[in-house]
């Protein structure tokens, strides 16, 4: 796409809609490339999916292919960012442990790890009798597992806030402003957005609205089939470090790749520096229904206790829900939209947005400035779904 041309105008070079971690990464890398960025969000920083995330930075759950390439790039970038940003983002390169309860599941994990290794993932097989050397409180009798040292964790809301701050004077925030329209000019080219506070002009617009990315796309007159996928996280009372790594059962990978709208749960258990244990993960397509699902929480708790019996007597002090931005092929939309000159998308990452944020931001900044792309963006083309829309540009959306 054409590169941004700097002008003497007080208007920004780029508007980013969405102050979650993906939007923050887009703003940070664009600012680092010398662009002035205004980030607009109807709520606070990390007020949507980011604030409801566990902070997973995973390669262990990804099939070889475009998403894994994106994840491996992000893994390297997160390591660099951890040295730049304050320790308060709670970056932990603690690794992940995927476990199998029976030999058949272990054989599937072994085949999965072998295929990942060819793509650059490091995984070490751990026999069942040695699992408790890594996690002393794991249930006995498991068939085995794989240790993934590249997996890590971050506190997502803090990471988003500090990425925005690291952008310095080139990044400005307009929070509490809902975008109600996308402004276009000659040839349908982007010229800004309308909010309830007035118009904001810029020649480029980045859609980092997460689960509401489809709504913002409609404001621009195009279709992007982003759907919400609800998930819950249980939070325990503060504990000594009884879970050292991110630990999950082998069926989690299948749940991530599933297209089912029905409730699916698979235990993901991890300790935090602050003491509470986080227990996920559930998935279901119920629109934007935030109702508490007792069934989902019971299943998560039961699965966590099967992995870590010590949790049976631990209190869960709260639970919260979030919406993953789901696209039908399980790949995010990243890049320029050829249907609307000046519009770029950076959304639809499902449950991997926190992990994939830095690579997404780096790609968007490179596209804006004509920089070298570190990987092929063709699999993430926003127009790959082949749907076009004549939607009006004044509908409300939730960014």
Residues 279 and 348 in one domain: no
pLDDT recorded at residue 388? 42
Residues 141 and 233 in one domain: yes
pLDDT recorded at residue 255? 57
For residues 192 and 291, give the distance between their C-alpha atoms in angstroms, rounded to a whole number: 36
Q: Is residue 64 part of a domain?
A: no
The domain of 345 spans: 14-51+157-225+329-380
Q: Is residue 6 part of a domain?
A: no
Percent of the chain with pLDDT over 90: 84
Tokens of 119: 């793509």
Residues 173 and 283 in one domain: no
Q: Is residue 70 part of a domain?
A: no
User: Cis before residue 343, ω within 30 degrees of 0?
Assistant: no
Residues 6+ apart with CB under 8 A from 328: 225, 259, 385
pLDDT recorded at residue 274? 87
Tokens of 366: 């490179």
Nearest to 154 by CA among 58, 66, 243: 58
For residues 264 and 266, give the distance between their C-alpha atoms in angstroms, rounded to a whole number: 7
Nearest to 86 by CA among 164, 13, 141: 164
pLDDT recorded at residue 292? 87
pLDDT recorded at residue 84? 94
Residues 47 and 106 in one domain: no
Residues 232 and 315 in one domain: yes
Q: What is the CATH number of the domain that holds 345?
A: 3.50.50.60
Domains contained in the chain, number:
2
Residues 219 and 251 in one domain: no
Quickly tell me which residue has 């931001």 as its tokens.
361
Tokens of 225: 């089939």
Residue 104 CB coordination number (10 Å)? 11
Residues 305 and 177 in one domain: no
Instruction: Outline where DSSP puts E strands in the chain.
Output: 14-17, 37-41, 56-57, 96-100, 124-127, 144-148, 152-153, 171-175, 179-184, 190-195, 198-201, 204-207, 227-236, 246-249, 264-271, 277-283, 316-326, 333-336, 343-347
Nearest to 380 by CA among 351, 344, 354, 355: 344
Residues 261 and 144 in one domain: yes
pLDDT recorded at residue 278? 95
Q: Is residue 257 part of a domain?
A: yes
Low-confidence ranges of the chain (pLDDT < 70): 1-9, 254-260, 387-399
Q: Is residue 72 part of a domain?
A: no
Q: Is residue 386 part of a domain?
A: no
Residues 266 and 362 in one domain: no
Q: What is the CATH number of the domain that holds 136?
A: 3.30.9.10
For residues 30 and 49, give the distance between their C-alpha atoms in angstroms, rounded to a whole number: 22
pLDDT recorded at residue 16? 98
Q: Is residue 388 part of a domain?
A: no
Quickly tell me which residue has 């829900």 as its tokens.
321
Residues 144 and 236 in one domain: yes
Residues 214 and 117 in one domain: no
pLDDT recorded at residue 79? 97
Q: Is residue 191 part of a domain?
A: yes
Q: Whole-prediction pTM value?
A: 0.92
For residues 391 and 234, give the distance between their C-alpha atoms in angstroms, rounded to a whole number: 39
pLDDT recorded at residue 264? 82
Residues 144 and 232 in one domain: yes
pLDDT recorded at residue 398? 37
Read out DSSP for 105-128? Answer: HHHHHHHHHHHHHTTT---EEEEG
């Amino acid at each position: 796409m054409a590169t941004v041309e700097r002008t003497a105008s007080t208007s920004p070079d780029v508007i980013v809609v969405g102050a979650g971690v993906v939007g923050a990464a887009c703003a940070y890398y664009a600012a680092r490339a010398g662009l002035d960025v205004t980030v607009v969000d109807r709520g606070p920083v990390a007020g949507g999916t980011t604030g409801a995330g566990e902070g997973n930075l995973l390669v262990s759950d990804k099939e070889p292919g475009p998403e894994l390439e994106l994840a491996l790039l992000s893994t390297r970038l997160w390591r660099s960012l951890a040295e730049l940003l304050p320790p308060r983002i709670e970056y932990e390169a603690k690794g992940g442990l995927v476990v199998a309860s029976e030999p058949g599941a272990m054989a599937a994990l072994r085949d999965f790890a072998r295929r990942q290794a060819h793509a650059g993932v490091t995984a070490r097989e751990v026999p069942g009798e040695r699992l408790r050397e890594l996690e002393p409180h794991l249930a006995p009798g498991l068939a085995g597992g794989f240790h993934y040292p590249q997996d890590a964790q971050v506190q997502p809301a803090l990471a988003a806030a500090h990425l925005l701050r690291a952008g310095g004077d080139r990044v400005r925030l307009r929070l509490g402003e809902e975008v109600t329209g996308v402004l276009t000019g000659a040839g349908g080219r982007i010229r800004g957005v309308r909010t309830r506070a007035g118009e904001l002009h810029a020649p480029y617009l980045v859609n980092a609205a997460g689960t509401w990315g489809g709504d913002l796309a409609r404001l621009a007159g195009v279709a992007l089939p982003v759907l919400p996928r609800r998930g819950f996280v249980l939070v325990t009372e503060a504990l000594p470090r009884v879970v050292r790594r991110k630990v999950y059962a082998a069926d989690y990978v299948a749940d991530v790749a599933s297209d089912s709208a029905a409730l699916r749960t698979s235990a993901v258990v991890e300790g935090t520096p602050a003491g509470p244990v986080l227990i996920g993960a559930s998935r279901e397509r119920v629109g934007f229904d935030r109702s508490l699902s007792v069934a989902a929480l019971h299943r998560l708790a039961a699965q966590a206790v099967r992995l870590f019996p010590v949790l049976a007597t631990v209190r869960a002090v709260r639970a919260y829900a979030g919406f993953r931005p789901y696209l039908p092929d399980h790949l995010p939309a990243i890049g320029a939209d050829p249907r609307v000159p000046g519009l770029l998308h950076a959304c639809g990452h499902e449950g991997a947005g926190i992990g994939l944020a830095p690579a997404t931001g780096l790609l968007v900044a490179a596209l804006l400035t004509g920089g070298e792309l570190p990987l092929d963006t063709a699999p993430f083309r926003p127009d790959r779904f082949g749907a076009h829309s004549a939607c009006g540009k004044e509908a409300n959306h939730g960014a």
